[in-house]
Amino acid sequence: MLVVVGGHSRNIGKTSVVCGIVRGLAERRWTAVKITQFGHQVCSVAGEACECADPKHPIAVSEERGLAPETDSGRFLAAGAARAFWVRTPAGRLAEALPSLRRILGGAENAIIESNSALQFLRPDRYLMVVDGAVADFKASSLRFLDRADALVATSGAELAWAGVPASLVAGKRVYRADAPLYESAELCASLKG
Please report the pLDDT score of residue 55 as a whole number. 55
Could you give the count of Cα atoms lying within 13 Å of 110 in the half-sphere of its Cβ?
Answer: 15
CATH number for the domain that contains residue 71? 3.40.50
d(CA 159, CA 54): 45
pLDDT at 25: 98
How far apart, in Å, are the Cα atoms of 21 and each of 28, 57, 186?
Answer: 10, 32, 9
Q: How many structural domains compose the chain?
A: 1
Query: Can you give the pLDDT at residue 137?
Result: 96
The total of other beta-carbon atoms located within 10 Å of residue 92's CB is: 10
The whole domain housing 107 covers 2-193
Tens of pLDDT along the chain (194 residues) come to 999 999 999 999 999 999 999 999 999 999 999 999 876 444 445 555 554 455 555 788 999 987 667 789 889 999 999 999 999 988 888 999 999 999 999 999 999 999 999 999 999 999 999 999 999 999 998 999 999 999 999 999 999 999 999 999 999 999 999 998 999 999 999 999 97
pTM above 0.85, yes or no: yes
- Distances in Å between the Cα of 113 and the Cα atoms of 3, 35, 72, 141 are 6, 7, 12, 17
Angle at 21 between CA 19 and CA 25, to 5 degrees: 120
